[in-house]
Amino acid sequence: MTENNQSVTKARITPAKAVSMIWLIPIIAVLIGSWMVYQNWRNQGPLIKIEFKTASGIEVGTTKIKSLNVDIGQVTKVHLKPNLDGVIVTARLSSPTYEALLRENTTFWVVSPQITRAGVSGLHTLLSGPYIELYPGTGQKEKYRFKGLETPPLTPSGTPGLSVTLSSEHDFSFTAGDPILYQGFNVGKIEELHFNSDENTMYYNAFIEAPYHTLIRSNTRFWKMSGIEVDVSANGMKLQAGTLESIVRGG
């Protein structure tokens, strides 16, 4: 029996790689996705909540938050208050830089078409839809929950001038938005009114714009300017008319 002497080549054994190169693709994808999520979170604006009586004209994902006609946010959620006396609108501002607008006296109101004695406003929303206007405050403390105004302010906060309160025991029937005139010039307007039943007196909160507020002194007097006043007596007829604006608005 013969034996074949053959040279035997030993196998070269190398340890397998712990991580295959194919796993680099999903790892890189996860890292890129995480970076994009972080950047999105970092660049998003603050979340705010605004209380209104109703959600009329407000739609989630559609209604914008604007300031000076610039889009700065959008409504993300609307829900009823626990006691059912209003709604809470949640909105997200589009940039962290807008956080500087959120102060104690920042005001919000819904802009929609309105026709009142003070005039016509909000007609541009007939096509674009209602939106929430933000008027920035000047306070020092930041705030993220607000109570929205039911009607647009007749005089924005920070307007130079003087606020005054007028009282009358007569039936003058003034309403918010009625003008205050000085020698035919519109120098201010009535902002709100309330009746004190104990005193049987009507009080009118008014605002006199600068520089006419310097006309207010301790002996300043206010009176109603009639639209058209006719006085017929034995001496003849006397006709006195106010300005065209006072005639249109009834004095």
157-207 pLDDT, tens digit per residue, is 677 899 899 888 776 677 888 888 888 788 988 888 888 888 888 888 999
pTM confidence score: 0.63
Mean pLDDT to the nearest integer, 205-226: 87
The amino acid sitting at 222 is F
pLDDT at 11: 67
Is the bond preceding residue 211 a cis peptide, omega within 30 degrees? yes
User: Residue 68 phi/psi, 5° resolution?
Assistant: 55, 40
Residue 247 clears pLDDT 60, i.e. is over it? no
Q: What is the pLDDT of residue 183?
A: 83
Compute the mean pLDDT over every residue in the chain, rounded to the nearest whole number: 81
Tell me whether residue 92 is exposed, middle or buried, using C-beta atoms within 10 angstroms of its C-beta: 0 to 12, 13 to 18, 19 or more. middle
Residue 98 has pLDDT above 80, yes or no: yes
Compute the distance between CA of residue 251 and CA of residue 82 in angstroms, rounded to an integer.
Answer: 45
Residue 198 confidence (pLDDT)? 86
Contacts of 96 (CB under 8 A, 6+ apart): 42, 43, 44, 45, 46
pLDDT digits over 45-91, tens only? 899 999 999 998 899 999 999 998 899 999 999 999 999 899 999 99
pLDDT tens-place string over residues 119-161: 666 777 777 789 999 998 887 888 999 999 988 887 776 778 9
Cα–Cα distance between 30 and 36 in angstroms, integer?
10
